[in-house]
Every structure is written in structure tokens, then in C-alpha cells.
Amino acid sequence: MFTGIITDIGQIRSVERRGDLRVRVGTAYDTDSIDIGASIACDGVCLTVVDLGPDWFEVDVSAETVDKTNIGRNRWDEGRRINLERALKVGDELGGHIVSGHVDGVAEITEIREEGDSTRVTLRAPEALAKFIAPKGSVALNGTSLTVNEVEGASFGINFIPHTKQVTTWGQVAKGDPINLEVDTMARYVARLGEFR
């Protein structure tokens, strides 16, 4: 489990196609404190550490994960920067919301505009996921816990303050970018319960 509070921006150092993808990610994390088998959310995708170095870790990415996330669409090429978060520990502050790292689908950025010091980003969710997104509700986008401002059909808006753009990759996004979307777990359960009324 994660909180959606990004704690590092990693950089893709290498991508090797084996049976799956083997990806090496450069990090500022103290890798002596990371165990083989640990979970790290990489742009919101929960991945398992399979190898470690002094300033990097490696993960295997299955074909299913590539297909269901923006990894295949963004082409995690060498040099790409990604949001990182280590798994939540008992007793850690829950500053965002409960995030599983299981991406539900891929949204697309349809508009970016500046509003004062902040940036308003409008995204279009897949139709099947739109019903889980509510104004003032939570979503995880590329692993970042965010509050939804408004919803209109499958489109929804998010506001990014300067701090968020500085400590995540949100300062470098562009219109048309595919974004990993994880809807709020509570919304999913409420909708499922409603089906049995």
C-alpha cells in the first residue's frame, strides 16, 4: 500500500527486453534500506525490486502491466523521469489517501492552463472508470494523490500548486500525455455495493 505522496523522482537508466521488461531506475533512496522483493510505486505502478545497486534498483515489468498502464505508451526509455514512492510502513503518516499501486486504466491530458501560480490540468478518463471519479474525491495520477476539482462526463480537472510540480514529474507534462489512473478504492466499493440494491 502507498499514500500517493511522491518521495523521489527516479530516472530510467536502462530497459532490457527479456521475457518481460527489466528496468533499471536511478534513485536518491538509500538502497541499503531497500530489500529484494520490496514494492516501489513507479509512476503509480506497484513493482517488485529484483536487484539493487548503490544508487539504483531494478524491476521486472510483465506484458500485462505494460498493456494496462502508460508504460508501453510512454515508452519508458532511458532518461525518462518517473515518480517514486516506497511502500507504506505501519506508523507512517498518511498524508495522501490509500493507494494500492494497481492502475485501473490510462487517462489522457486534454488541456493545461495556468491559473495564478498554479496549473489546471484537464484529463479524460476511460468511460468505464468515469463513474468512480467525483468532485472533491481522490485519484492517484502517475502515483500522485490528488483532489478532483470538477467532473463533466469522463473529463475531470486537477489543480497543481508549484510545490507539487517541483517535487513530482507534473511540471513536465504535456497535452496528449497518457497518465496512469487509479481511482479511489472507496468509490469502487460503494459503486459495487450499489449494484446489489
Domain membership flag for residue 134: yes
Q: Residue 22 above 70 pLDDT? A: yes
Domain membership flag for residue 27: yes
Query: Rounded to whole angstroms, what are the CA distances from 105 to 55, 57, 65, 162, 166?
Result: 30, 25, 11, 26, 25
Q: Are residues 56 and 127 in the same domain?
A: no
Q: Are residues 82 and 125 in the same domain?
A: no
Largest CA distance in the chain: 54
**For the stretch 138-150, what's the b/e string if a residue is b when 16 or more beta carbons lie within 10 angstroms of its beta carbon?**
bbbbbbbbbebee
Q: Are residues 13 and 77 in the same domain?
A: yes
- The whole-chain average pLDDT of the chain stands at 93
- Residue 13: helix, strand or coil by DSSP? strand
Q: Residue 181 above 70 pLDDT? A: yes
Query: Rounded to whole angstroms, what are the CA distances from 95 to 6, 48, 134, 167?
Result: 10, 23, 20, 15
- Residue 192: helix, strand or coil by DSSP? helix
Domain end residue (candidates: 38, 57, 86): 86
Domain membership flag for residue 92: no
Q: Cell match 508501453: residue?
A: 72
- Per the structure, the count of domains in the chain is 2
Q: Tell me, what's the pLDDT at 197?
A: 66
What is the pLDDT averaged over residues 90-99? 79
CA distance 140 to 96: 9
Output the domain CATH number for residue 19. Answer: 2.40.30.20
What is the pLDDT averaged over residues 1-30? 95
Domain membership flag for residue 97: no
Report the candidate in 47, 1, 2, 4 with the shortest Cα–Cα distance to residue 138: 4
What is the pLDDT averaged over residues 183-187? 82
Q: Are residues 114 and 181 in the same domain?
A: yes
Domain membership flag for residue 117: yes
Domain end residue (candidates: 52, 86, 120): 86
Domain end residue (candidates: 22, 56, 86): 86
Q: Residue 89 above 90 pLDDT? A: no
Domain membership flag for residue 100: no
Q: Are residues 112 and 79 in the same domain?
A: no
Q: Residue 195 above 70 pLDDT? A: yes
Domain membership flag for residue 2: no
pTM listed for this prediction: 0.93
Strand partners, 178: 108
Range of the domain at 26: 8-86
Q: Are residues 119 and 79 in the same domain?
A: no
> pLDDT digit string (tens) for 29-44?
999 999 999 999 999 9
